[in-house]
Structure 1
Amino acid sequence: MTPERMQELIELFKSNRNEFDVFASGIRQWFLGHDELVSKESVHSIRYRLKDLEHLRDKLTRKFADVDLTNSEFFSRITDLAGVRILHLHQAQFNEIHSAITKKISQNDWVLAEPAKAFTWDPESQEFFAGHGLHVELRDTYYTSVHYLVKPRADSPLCCEIQVRTLFEEIWGEVDHKLNYPNPTSNIASREQLRVLSKLVGAGSRLVDSIFRTA
């Protein structure tokens, strides 16, 4: 991909940025106003963002330097141009959040761009997510999150990545992001400490689950 073509794709996103913003902010507002999720306090907090232009340039450089993307391929292969992150306290709340999302999809209000995926390193979590009909991908990076890529309609270039994770998983994700984005750290000690942190996060999440089950 030439620098000129890369800039064209960045300008293409800029010209469609408002449409992505409207779609993703609408998803955020839907969660904030969902009666059942609000009444049950299933959602702790919501984060929302559009892709930073320099981060987009970095991603195009890292992953598509040798690929000449068409405009339609740009939108179909860069699926995190807009994102909404749903944070919850304990695992049981995921059931309610997942149910609300799948109902929205079954009503054709949103269309999945691809099957929803759960990323995890933990065999117990793998079983839990598979029980919800999710495709589970084991990650040796210790990343844990559930991703839903939703579009307003099948032929739309707009796509929003909905991520669902616990607060503990969010802490790990933030530390990992600082260390490994856009380029992975080469510090062996940091990588090992990040692995240990993932184990602590897993233990913490299970303890929180136990607290709420026995409350």
Structure 2
Amino acid sequence: MIDRDGFLKSYNIEQEDFEAADMPWEELAAIYEDYQAIEGKLRNIGKDFVYDYLYDIERAGIHSYRYRTKDPGHLLEKIIRKRVEHFERFKDINRTNYHKYMTDLIGIRVFFLYREDWIHFHNYITSVFENDPGLYVKDRILDFDGDPKHYYIAERPKVYRRNGDSRIYDEDLIEIRSDGIYRSLHYIIKYKGYYVEIQGRTLFEEGWSEIDHDIVYPYFKDDEMLKDFSTLLNRLSGMADEMSSYFRRMKGTKEAWERKIEEAEAREDLSGKTND
């Protein structure tokens, strides 16, 4: 069995937070062991998803992708954290149903060069999977579809956008949330009996997010100095995204201008030949 004290220390979980979660360590350890037993299966499901839907990146409208299964220790840490933050919502989670609550056991990241390219992936993913609001999960237990052959989008797609972002998202297509921190698309898809979480970001956003997650979140999120450095890096990544979009617009304007010049020259040549 996983050692409780060693786990709490490794994941920087205070004793009072563990007690506030009000979940027996034996149950958490059972979840840990069960998840270890199925992690290989989940990894193969993620591999199948990538092969079936993302391998052709041009068809999917993305630059690249990667996938992973959740680390067993991070799974326990998240369960504890969620029970502290939203006890009523997670009070019934246990070793037999945790996969119905945790929508990111299989996680996939898709990346874009330009932030405006989100619409290409959105149109693609909502065309290859059923996107019926009537299927969106509200109750994690009652609304769980046990049919492993029923593939569908299980939550309304949403995007977290930066404060000050230009209007590049359509709220008729996607739920827009503004938190001023980062920009990221989120899709939860039911696939082969489990949820698959897809996050979409630009390459610059992913660079900042990975560094922030490695250093700050969630264990040092209260450290003011680290938060300030992360905020600065976040601003730089946002500026890089802005510059990338501007760079592409400049290229498009330049190409359009050159086409007009070529067309004008072609008309002049044709006029001269006619006069001759």
TM bin, normalised by shorter chain, reads: 0.7 to 0.9
Give the CA deviation at 1:107. 8.3
**Could you say what the CA RMSD is over the residues aligned between the two structures, in angstroms?**
2.4
Task: Say yes or no: does 1:190 pair with 2:209.
Answer: no
Question: Residues 149-174 of structure 1: CA distance to partner in whole angstroms, max 9, x if unpaired?
Answer: 10127xx3x01111110011101101
The aligned runs of 1:1-215 (5 Å cut-off) are: 1-29=23-51, 30-33=53-56, 36-37=59-60, 42-64=61-83, 67-71=91-95, 73-106=97-130, 110-124=151-165, 127-131=167-171, 133-140=173-180, 142-152=181-191, 156=193, 158-215=194-251
Q: Which moved more, 1:204-213 or 1:79-88?
A: 204-213
TM-score w.r.t. the length of structure 2 is 0.67
In the superposition, relative to structure 1, how do residues 179 and 119 fare at CA in structure 2: closer, same or farther (>3 Å)?
same
Q: Number of residues paired by the alignment?
A: 206
Q: What is the letter of the counterpart of residue 94 of structure 1?
A: W
In the superposition, relative to structure 1, how do residues 138 and 73 fare at CA in structure 2: closer, same or farther (>3 Å)?
farther
Give the CA deviation at 1:47. 1.4
Q: What is the letter of the counterpart of residue 55 of structure 2?
A: L
In the superposition, relative to structure 1, how do residues 80 and 107 fare at CA in structure 2: closer, same or farther (>3 Å)?
closer
Give the CA deviation at 1:131. 4.5
Q: Which moved more, 1:80-89 or 1:194-203?
A: 194-203
Give the CA deviation at 1:134. 0.8
Cα separation, 1, equivalents of 2:130 and 2:121: 14
Cα separation, 1, equivalents of 2:26 and 2:222: 31
In the superposition, relative to structure 1, how do residues 34 and 198 fare at CA in structure 2: closer, same or farther (>3 Å)?
closer
Q: What is the letter of the counterpart of residue 225 of structure 2?
A: A
Instruction: Please tell me whether the aligned partners of residues 20 and 159 of structure 1 are also in contact (alpha carbons under 8 angstroms).
Output: no
Question: Structure 1: which 5+ runs fail to align?
Answer: none
In the superposition, relative to structure 1, how do residues 135 and 107 fare at CA in structure 2: closer, same or farther (>3 Å)?
closer
Instruction: Please tell me whether the aligned partners of residues 10 and 53 of structure 1 are also in contact (alpha carbons under 8 angstroms).
Output: yes
Q: What is the letter of the counterpart of residue 113 of structure 1?
A: A
**Percentage identity across paired residues of the two chains:** 26
Instruction: Please tell me whether the aligned partners of residues 65 and 108 of structure 2 are also in contact (alpha carbons under 8 angstroms).
Output: yes
In the superposition, relative to structure 1, how do residues 35 and 206 fare at CA in structure 2: closer, same or farther (>3 Å)?
closer
Question: Residues 68-110 of structure 1: CA distance to partner in whole angstroms, max 9, x if unpaired?
Answer: 4145641222111110100111023222111111111148973
In the superposition, relative to structure 1, how do residues 184 and 138 fare at CA in structure 2: closer, same or farther (>3 Å)?
farther
Cα separation, 2, equivalents of 1:133 and 1:72: 35
Cα separation, 2, equivalents of 1:26 and 1:118: 25
Q: What is the letter of the counterpart of residue 32 of structure 1?
A: Y
Structure 1 segments, 4+ long, off by >6 Å, are: none
Q: Larger C-alpha radius of gyration, 1 or 2?
A: 2
Q: What is the letter of the counterpart of residue 20 of structure 1?
A: L
Q: What is the letter of the counterpart of residue 139 of structure 1?
A: D
Matched residue SS, 1:159: strand
Q: Which moved more, 1:196-205 or 1:57-66?
A: 57-66
In the superposition, relative to structure 1, how do residues 207 and 110 fare at CA in structure 2: closer, same or farther (>3 Å)?
farther
In the superposition, relative to structure 1, how do residues 204 and 78 fare at CA in structure 2: closer, same or farther (>3 Å)?
same
Give the CA deviation at 1:138. 1.7
